[in-house]
Structure formats: structure tokens, C-alpha cells
Amino acid sequence: MTLAIRFADIEAARERLRGVAHRTPVLTSRSADARTGARLFFKCENLQRTGAFKFRGAYNALAQFSPEQRARGVVAFSSGNHAQAIALAAQLLGIPATIVMPQDAPPIKIEATRGYGAEIVFYDRYREDREAIGRALAAERGLTLIPPFDHPHVMAGQGTAAAELFEDVGALDALVVCVGGGGLISGCAVAAKHLAPGCRVIGVEPEAGNDVQLSLAAGRIVHIDVPATIADGAQTQHAGQLTFPVIQALVAEIVTVPDAALVRAMRFFAERMKLVVEPTGALAAAAVFERLSLAGRRVGVIVSGGNLDCARYAQLLSSASP
Ligand SMILES: *Cc1c(COP(=O)(O)O)cnc(C)c1O
């Protein structure tokens, strides 16, 4: 079966993102290495524009719009990092953006999205279907819908994070990546296969939402109810039609971590590395600290994002066990 993206798509995405996306730093930590016995390289996408890797995929997708698509505009449905990523990418490219968000989305996210110049269309999350609203808007206004993960241009954009990491630190024994709908890990796995063929790509899901782990075991895309987890960026109910075959072909295994481990990893990032990391952004590190045995290995860890409300952040950190 042919996969939705090839390494050449990631290389092309890198050209589009050059000078636009940040080349995020790769940080190391002696205390993290001492704790795991591994040599860890943290790729800090919490320091990416808009605070998460999603800017990469969003910009790569919008930069490929035809003149007509650009003139008409883009629509996305998201309350989270994809919304901000699409809004900023659209602003930079002069494309009108419409974002479908729940009425009760956190005010900070609504403001951030509006701040990038997007028009926000609210919906009632208990009564209305955001996908249907997004599709209706796309049809009525001739907008192009860009989904958060299941799109080849989005997947290729996300893969540039891993490509940069390999370029900076060389070959790795393992690359640990969080998994929501699988856009990030599928792009990263294609980059790994090309740039570091011996590297084991390991996915991490919240314990409460292990749909991709179940899907790999079942050999088909398994749907689950909205999982109860603090990792809101990984509250997806199923992998994508395009991302899942890539995960099946190139990802070695998926492990899970409980929310308490995410809080402990967030606290480690704050105390030891001076990094603000959101719960979903801490998935890969939590698995490295508490689930995987990687002693003696060189390991890449994607820190996927750092967007969360200050009050919520303080509450989570103060609830962490020492
Ligand atoms: C969207 C998101 C994820 C999950 O990415 P997928 O491409 O859906 O697997 C992980 N972390 C953060 C911070 C995100 O915003």
C-alpha cells in the first residue's frame, strides 16, 4: 500500500517553512539522563510559533493553496492548537480564516485565535456537530477545510520537526512521539525511516485514550468515546484514514501513560529545564521517564506544545506528587 506522504514531501515542507517557522531548540538535561540512563534530546515544539508543532502542518498546507483557494479562505474546526496554527498561517499568507469553536472554549484560546485575525463561528458542543458545521461553511462560502491531522500536507509539515532533530543530533536509537490523531507521529516516522533507518519510533497515548494502540492490535481503525484525560490534544476518538496506515507501517509500538505521570513530567520540565509544557506535550517525556527502558540509548523526545492557561498550570503543578 502506498503511504500518504514520502520523505520528499517533508523536504518540500522544510523549504516552505524556512524563515517562517522557528527552528526550535533541542535541549538536553543531565538530570533527565541520570534518571533514565539514556542520552535524551528534547525537541522543544512548545517554543514553536503559536506554542505547538501544529504551525508547521498548518502553514505547509495553506502555502499550497491555489490563488482561488487563497482568495476564498480556509476553515478549520478546533478549540485548541490547530485553530491558532491555522489562524496565524492564514494571517501570514493573507488568507481569510474561519475557525469553528465551541461556545465554551477557554477565553484565552478564543482571544489568541481572534488575535491572529480569524473569524470565529461558535457552536454548541452538546447539540451541534462541528464537522457538519465546518463542512457546511466550506460548501456555502467556498472555503477549503484543513483538518488537524488527516491531510498529507499537514502530516508532511509535522514531519519537519523530526527532520530538524535528526539533522541536529544525528542518528538516534529511538524517537518518542505523542499520538492524538497521528499527524505528528506519521510525519516524524517518515522522516525517521529516511534519515535514521535503525531508529525505533515509539508512540505515546494517554492511558484513558489508547485508541491507536487498540487499532494496531485490531489491524483496523478503532473508535472510542471521548477519553477523560488532561491531555486535551490527544482526546481524539480515532486515528485518520491517512495517518493510520503510516503508523501501521512505520511505528514500532504504542505505550500509554496515566495523567499523574503527565503532571510529574510537567513538573520536571518546569523545575529542571525551565520549560512550560502542556499535558499533551508531556506525553512522550512521561513515557521515557516512567514506562520505557532506554538505558544506554540515544533517544529523541518530542515536546509537542506548551499552551495552557496559567491558573490551570499552577493547579496542575501544585497537585503533583514530589
Ligand atoms: C495536536 C497535538 C498533539 C497530537 O497530534 P496529532 O497529530 O493529532 O497526533 C499532541 N500535542 C499537542 C501539543 C498538540 O497540539
Please name each of the domains of the chain with its CATH number: 7-53+151-319 (3.40.50.1100), 55-145 (3.40.50.1100)
Length of the chain: 322
Nearest CA to ligand 1 atom 5: 180
Q: Which residues are catalytic?
A: 54, 79, 205, 209, 211, 304
Rounded to the nearest angstrom, the distance between the alpha carbon of 234 and the centre of ligand 1 is 6
Residue 242 has pLDDT above 60, yes or no: yes
Question: Strand, coil or helix: what is 135?
Answer: helix
Is residue 279 within 8 Å of residue 266, measured between CB atoms? yes
Region for 182 from its dihedrals, namely left if φ exceeds 0, alpha if ψ lies in -120 to 50, beta otherwise: left
The helix-helix angle for 107-115 and 81-93 (nearest 10°) equals 10
Q: Is the dihedral of CA 227, 277, 304, 20 positive or negative?
A: positive
Residue 320 has pLDDT above 70, yes or no: no
Q: How far apart are CA 121 and CA 119, in angstroms?
A: 7
Cell numbers representing residue 192 in the block = 525517521
- For every residue of 80-114, DSSP letters joined together read SHHHHHHHHHHHHHT--EEEEEETTS-HHHHHHHH
Q: How far, CA to CA in Å, does 61 sit from each of 157, 185, 306?
A: 8, 17, 22
Residue 127 has pLDDT above 90, yes or no: no
Q: Give the pLDDT confidence of 247-297 residue by residue, as tens digits.
A: 999 999 999 999 999 999 999 999 999 999 999 999 999 999 999 999 999
Please tell me the predicted confidence (pLDDT) of residue 322: 44
Average pLDDT over residues 135-157: 95
Rounded to the nearest angstrom, the distance between the alpha carbon of 147 and the centre of ligand 1 is 12
Amino acid at 83: A
Find which of 5-19, 95-109, 223-237 is predicted with most confidence, using mean pLDDT.
Answer: 5-19
Residue 1 has pLDDT above 80, yes or no: no
Please tell me the predicted confidence (pLDDT) of residue 265: 98
Q: How far apart are CA 297 and CA 250, in angstroms?
A: 20
Backbone φ and ψ of 261, nearest 5°: -70, -30
Residue 114 has pLDDT above 70, yes or no: yes
Please tell me the predicted confidence (pLDDT) of residue 131: 82
Ligand 1 pocket (Cβ < 6 Å) reads 52, 54, 80-81, 148-149, 158, 178-185, 233-234, 236, 278, 280-281, 304-305
Taking the alpha carbons at both ends of the chain, their separation in whole angstroms is: 48
Question: Strand, coil or helix: what is 48?
Answer: coil
Rounded to the nearest angstrom, the distance between the alpha carbon of 166 and the centre of ligand 1 is 20
Please tell me the predicted confidence (pLDDT) of residue 103: 86
Pocket test for ligand 1, best of 304, 307, 308, 313 (most atoms within 8 A of CB): 304
Average pLDDT over residues 98-121: 89
Backbone φ and ψ of 89, nearest 5°: -60, -40
Is residue 247 within 8 Å of residue 301, measured between CB atoms? no
Please tell me the predicted confidence (pLDDT) of residue 321: 55
Sequence-separated (6 or more) residues with CB below 8 Å from residue 134:
75, 76, 77, 100, 145
Q: 25 vs 127, which has greater pLDDT? A: 25
| Residue from 182, 187, 227, 175 nearest 206 by CA | 227
Amino acid at 146: I
Residue 298 has pLDDT above 90, yes or no: yes
Which of 77-81, 105-109, 190-194, 241-245 has the weakest average pLDDT? 105-109
Residue 106 has pLDDT above 80, yes or no: no
Q: Give the pLDDT confidence of 163-217 residue by residue, as tens digits.
A: 999 999 999 999 999 999 999 999 999 999 999 999 999 999 999 999 999 999 9
